[in-house]
Each structure stands twice: as structure tokens, then as C-alpha cells.
Amino acid sequence: MSAIIILISVSLTVAVIFLIAFIWSVRSGQYEDKYTPSVRMLFDDNEIPEDLKNDKSVSKKIKKL
């Protein structure tokens, strides 16, 4: 019987981890555009000009895109 309880608590924990991953993915907007990411991988990476690299706010914004 205790085996069942342990199993269930483990399975629930794993499930909750996935739930959190799901919530994170929705919040970060991964469900909004399901087509573009498949195309974006074909482009070259965004190049950040040297003088802007140190500017944290700029590189953060570019990463977000």
C-alpha cells in the first residue's frame, strides 16, 4: 500500500513539473506563433554590433525577438 502512495506522489511531482513547464511556455508566448520558429532556424543568428554588446538592455531586447 505504501508503495502505491510513494508511486503516486512521485508521479504527481513529475506531472507538476511538466505543468510548470507548460505554464512557462504559454507565458513566454510559445503558443502564439507556431509557424515562425520553424523558419527562423534557417536564418543566420542576429549579429549584435560590438559597441552595443556591452549595453545590457539592448542585447536583452534582441534576445527576446
Partner 1 sequence: MDFPKKSVTIVFDHSAVSLKDVVVLISSIGYEPLISLEKNDEQIKKDEFKNKDLTLKIGIAGFCLGNIMLLSFPEYLSKGAEIDPQLKTIFNYLNILLSLPVFFYSASDYFISAWKAVKKNYISIDFPISLGLIALFVRSLYEIILFNNAGYIDSLAGLIFLLLLGKLFQSKTYQTLNFERDYKSYFPVSVTVLKNGIEKSIPVAKLETGERILIRNGEIIPADSILFSGTANIDYSFVTGESMPEQKVLGEIIYAGGRHFGSAIELEVIKTVSQSYLTQLWNNDAFKKTQISNIQNLTDKVSKYFTVIILAIAFGSGLFWLREDVNKAIDAFTTVLIIACPCAFALTTPFAFGYTLRIFGRNKFYLKKGSVIEDLSNINTVVFDKTGTITDSGNISVKFFGSKLSHTELCLVKTLVRNSSHPLSRKIFESISGEDCSDDLEVTNFDESISDGISGIVSGIPVKVGNIKYLLKDLDCSYYERGHEFIKNPFSTNVFISINNFIKGYYSFRNIYRAGIDKAVEDLSEDYDLAVITGDNNSERNNLLKIFGSGAKLLFNQKPQDKLNFVKEIQSDSAKVLMIGDGLNDAGALKQSEVGISVSENITNFLPSCDAIIDAGEISKIGKFIRFSKTTMNIIRASFVISFIYNIIGLYLAAQGTFSPLVAAVLMPFNSISIIIIIFLMTNFFAKRRGLI
Binding interface with partner 1 (CB under 8 A): 1, 4-5, 8, 11-12, 15, 18-19, 22-23, 26-27, 29, 31-33, 35-36, 39-40, 52, 58, 61-62, 65
Q: How far is the CB of 31 from partner 1 (least distance, A)?
A: 5
Q: How far is the CB of 56 from partner 1 (least distance, A)?
A: 14
For cell 560590438, the residue is 50
What type of residue sits at position 45? D
For 35-64, give one letter per residue: b (16+ CB within 10 A) or e: eeeeeeeeeeeeeeeeeeeeeeeeeeeeee
